[in-house]
Amino acid sequence: MKTIFRHILITGGFLSLMNLMPAQEITVPLRFDRYYDYEELIEAMKALNRAYPRLTHLDLVGKSEENREIWALTINNPQTGNELDKPGVYVDGNIHGNEVQAGEVCLYFADYLLKNYGKNPRITALVDKNAYYVVPSVNVDGRYHFFNDPNTPSTNRGLRRPHDDDRDGLFDEDFPDDLDGDGNICNMRKRDPFGQYRTDPLDSRLMIPVKPGEPGEWTLLGQEGIDNDGDGQVNEDSEGYVDPNRNWPYNWEPPYVQRGSDNYPLSGVGLKALANYIIDRPNIIMAFAFHNNGGMFLRGPGTEDQGDFPRNDVEVFDYLGKNAEKIVPGYRYLLSWRDLYSTYGDFGDFMDNIVGAYTFVGELYRTDDETFRSPGESQKQEDEGSMFTENTSRTKERLEFNDHVVHGDLYKEWTPYNHPTYGEIEIGGWVKMSSRLPHPFMLPDLVHRNAAAVIFSSEQTPEIKLEVTETEKIDRNLYRVTVRLSNRKAIPSLTYHAVQKKIHEQDILKVHGKQIRVVSGGRLTDLYRNRVVYKEHKPEIQYLQVPGFGKIEFQFLVSGKGEMQVEYTSLKAGKIRKTVSLK
Ligand SMILES: [Ca+2]
Ligand SMILES: [Ca+2]
Ligand SMILES: [Ca+2]
Ligand SMILES: [Ca+2]
Ligand SMILES: [Zn+2]
């Protein structure tokens, strides 16, 4: 109750005014020099669906903790086949509520495919080839609250599942507070001769630690706010914390091992709905999940103890990942547990291990792109510390960028404020729409390049060709039939990991006919010396995987005459059927 009261007290009047305002009309092609809040994002998806009714449909995935709708946009050309008979490409974003530009990348990807359909031949072929499942905002409550509430760049990540962080019997009772009403949660500092910091002589907005014996100037008081529940602590219990990217049902661990995992996997109602949505689309072979920040394309596994994927899968990841690095300059292709940190119960592990899809996490944006330097000048290095460490040459450069490139949009100048507990203080620092999000003028470049990385990988989904390369009559009513399945793309018809772990059924090649009988059949391992690994039982049905950039061949001895059907069926790479006449 106290939380609700606080929100009404501070932002209630402003919010109710906003709710009365008519939503700005959203038209296609969509604009990307702006951000879309939750409602606008849904409107944008509906606008795409209205503009391209033959190529798209909208599905309600489910509802969130706070009853907001999670929508998926499917792009599929029904004239080139059913969705489930094509390779599925899944793209989502914004599972962390504050990582909002991930939603714009998804919107842009959809908008770009659709507006170029029938215009750009490569995009046209790409739309015709795959089924695309686009979920621009997974954590819809997080997106809503990030835009509508005061925040730092890093708050509102989790699910809206109340949690008593300080175990005082009250749930989410002491959020940070927007004391000066500017929509941001910034930082507080107080003049104090015994403080641990003094003003940086190079930029008075920054502070540097005092050396032993030196007089102090400032004490830092943390995030903007007051002690809402009067327990003597300020801002100690805000939303959650359930991390929606630690709540997935593969390699899940309880919160004492993995912070934010919650009491059991898929306790998040929206996440559970999304898991069902994905499981209902077993054709998904490739996935991108967008986050911010740092400029990375991460692949799994999430933890070292899982061991690496089979070598052939690593080759596929490397091929896609190294090309993604080139498409988005400055981004690095990395192995998540080794190059970043270990995660239990994350979405990528679920997709790799339950769905059998090659999955990348795209960490969008690099503050390194906030430049202010001459051509010859090399980039100033962060001295040390975390991404929010003040007092570094990089931070100074970012402030110059703020001052001269975006004219103060990203940084709030220190401003006096009379605090109920601390007295005369100052509030200032990086604002909500900074630090992890590009300024809107940089957004079109970010969304295009990252969508292009997804497009590169989408072009590499399996393209299987079935050829009956030989029907040789070797005796009266006995034929030798050779079938070749080839794939001219990088991604195999199913992952090697899926084959090794038996995640789902393999592809099936079936030879049959009314007047024929398959006497023997098996995989042709050496075409020139005619070596065949025969399958003893039911030789007319062969299980297989078609490799990337390669082929697999089978040889059958068939008795009888007349029509012979050759059928290839794959969970992820479609269906092909050929009829051959034996005579
Ligand atoms: Ca509490
Ligand atoms: Ca503020
Ligand atoms: Ca408190
Ligand atoms: Ca507070
Ligand atoms: Zn994230």
pLDDT (tens digit per residue) in 234-265: 999 998 899 999 999 999 999 999 999 999 99
* Ligand 4 centroid – CA 9 distance (Å): 13
Distance CA 161, CA 305 (A): 30
**Distance from residue 242's CA to the centre of ligand 1 (Å):** 15
Ligand 1 centroid to Cα of residue 143, in Å, is 23
Report yes or no: 239 and 156 within 8 Å, Cβ to Cβ.
yes
Residues 575/567, Cβ–Cβ less than 8 Å = yes
**CA-CA-CA-CA torsion sign (554, 560, 561, 563):** negative
Distance CA 112, CA 73 (A): 13
Question: Can you give 150-165 as a three-state secondary structure string?
Answer: CECCCCCCCECCCCCC
Centroid of ligand 2 to alpha carbon of 182 (angstroms): 5
Euclidean distance between CA atoms 512 and 518, whole angstroms: 7
User: At residue 2, does pLDDT exceed 50?
Assistant: no
pLDDT tops 60 at residue 1: no
Q: Considering every ligand atom, which ligand is closest to the CA of 233? A: 3
What is the number of other CB atoms lying within 10 angstroms of the CB of residue 13?
10
- pTM, full prediction: 0.94
Return the higher-pLDDT residue of 393 and 234: 234
Q: Cα-atom radius of gyration of the chain, to the nearest Å?
A: 28
Q: How many angstroms separate the alpha carbon of residue 429 from the centre of ligand 5?
A: 22
CA dist 210 → 382, 386, 391, 427 (Å): 19, 19, 12, 21
Give percent of the chain with pLDDT exceeding 70.
94
As given in the structure block, the two tokens for residue 127 are: 């739309």
CB atoms within 5 A of ion ligand 3 belong to: 174, 227, 229, 231, 233
Question: Which listed ligand is nearest to 101 at the C-alpha?
Answer: 5
Expressed in angstroms and rounded, the spacing between residue 181 Cα and the centre of ligand 3 is 20
CA of 98 to the centre of ligand 2 (A): 17
Helix H or strand E encompassing 187: strand 187-191
CA 129, CA 106: separation in Å to the nearest integer?
19
| Selected residue with higher pLDDT from 75 and 377 | 75
Predicted local confidence at residue 376, as pLDDT: 84
Determine the distance separating the centroid of ligand 1 and the alpha carbon of 1, expressed in angstroms.
12
CA separation for the pair 255, 182 (Å, rounded): 35
The length of the chain, given as a count of residues: 583
Residue 318 has a pLDDT of 98
226 Cα: distance to centroid of ligand 3 (angstroms): 8
Q: How does pLDDT run across 503-556, given as a tens digit for each residue?
A: 999 999 999 999 999 999 999 998 888 899 999 999 999 999 999 999 999 999
Task: Record the tokens describing residue 282, joined without a space.
Answer: 């077993």
CA–centroid distance, 143 to ligand 5, in Å, is: 12
Which ligand places an atom closest to the C-alpha of 237?
A: 1
Q: How far is the CA of 238 from the centre of ligand 4 (A)?
A: 8
Cβ atoms 336, 362 nearer than 8 A:
no
Please report which confidence band the pLDDT of residue 23 belongs to, taking 50, 70 and 90 as the band edges: low
Q: Which residue has the higher pLDDT, 23 or 175?
A: 175
- Position 583 scores a pLDDT of 85
pLDDT of residue 240: 86
Predicted local confidence at residue 24, as pLDDT? 66
550-560 sheet: strands from edge to edge? 464-475, 478-487, 550-560, 516-526, 531-534
Among candidate residues 54, 457, 38, 71, the one with its CA nearest the CA of residue 273: 71
Give the pair of three-digit tokens for residue 81. 């086949």
Mean pLDDT within 409-431: 97
Of the candidates 268, 224, 223, the one whose C-alpha atom is nearest the C-alpha of residue 243 is 268
Q: What is the pLDDT of residue 389?
A: 47
Helices (H), 282-378: 311-327, 347-350
How many angstroms is it from 247 CA to the middle of ligand 5? 13
Closest ligand to C-alpha of residue 179 is 2
Structure tokens at 245: 């990217």
Is residue 474 exposed (0-12), middle (13-18) or buried (19+ Cβ within 10 Å)? exposed
Band (382; pLDDT cuts 50, 70, 90): low
Supply the pLDDT for residue 381: 61
Q: What is the pLDDT of residue 76?
A: 98
**374 CA to middle of ligand 2, Å?**
34
Tell whether the model's pLDDT for residue 5 goes beyond 70: no
Q: What is the DSSP string of 34-90?
A: S---HHHHHHHHHHHHHH-TTTEEEEEEEE-TT--EEEEEEE--GGG--GGGS-EEE
pLDDT in tens, 436-461: 999 999 999 999 999 999 999 999 99
The 3-state DSSP class for residue 95 equals coil
Residue 323 corresponds to which tokens in the numbers above? 């090309």
More confident residue, 391 or 374: 374
Which runs of consecutive H residues, i.e. helices, occur in 280-412? Answer: 311-327, 347-350, 393-404
Please report which ligand is nearest the Cα atom of 340.
5
Sign of CA dihedral 140, 142, 148, 152: negative
pLDDT at 361: 98
DSSP 8-state symbol, 363: E
Average pLDDT estimate for 284-296: 98
Q: Cis before residue 29, ω within 30 degrees of 0?
A: yes
Report how far ligand 2's centroid is from the alpha carbon of 289 (Å). Answer: 31
d(CA 268, CA 142): 13
Task: Report d(CA 445, CA 456) in Å as an integer.
Answer: 17
Q: 198 CA to middle of ligand 4, Å?
A: 26
- Tell me the pLDDT of the chain averaged across its residues: 93
* Protein residues with C-beta less than 5 angstroms from the ion ligand 4: 174, 177, 225, 228, 235
User: How far, in Å, is the centroid of ligand 2 from the Cα of 185?
Assistant: 5
User: What are residue 361's DSSP bridge partners?
Assistant: 289, 298
Cα–Cα distance, 360 to 328 (Å, whole number): 14
Tokens of 249: 């049902």
Average pLDDT over residues 483-497: 98
pLDDT > 90: percent of the chain = 90
* Residue 458 CA: distances (Å) to CA of 87, 130, 288, 493: 9, 8, 10, 13
Distances in Å between the Cα of 273 and the Cα atoms of 57, 61, 198, 280, 480 are: 18, 6, 51, 11, 50
Reported as a single tens digit per residue, the pLDDT across 169-217 is 999 999 999 999 999 999 999 999 999 999 998 899 999 999 999 999 9
The ligand whose atoms approach the alpha carbon of 142 most closely is 5
pLDDT in tens, 120-141: 999 999 999 999 999 999 999 9
The bridge status of strand 516-526 relative to strand 296-299 is unpaired
Instruction: Render pLDDT for 271-280 as a digit per residue (tens, 0 to 9).
Output: 999 999 999 9
Residue 22 is predicted with a pLDDT of: 53
* Ligand with an atom nearest the CA of residue 186: 2
Q: Which ligand is nearest to the CA of 165?
A: 1
What per-residue confidence (pLDDT) applies to 25? 87
User: In which element (H, E) is residue 286 found?
Assistant: strand 284-292
> Confidence band (pLDDT; 50, 70, 90) for 384?
very low
d(CA 193, ligand 1 centre) in Å: 34
Ligand nearest to C-alpha 415: 2
Residue 552, strand partner residues:
485
Domains of the chain, CATH where assigned: 24-147+242-367+445-457 (3.40.630.10), 464-582 (2.60.40.10)
Angle between helices 443-459 and 101-115 (to 10 degrees): 60
Q: 386 CA distance to ligand 3 centroid (A)?
A: 26
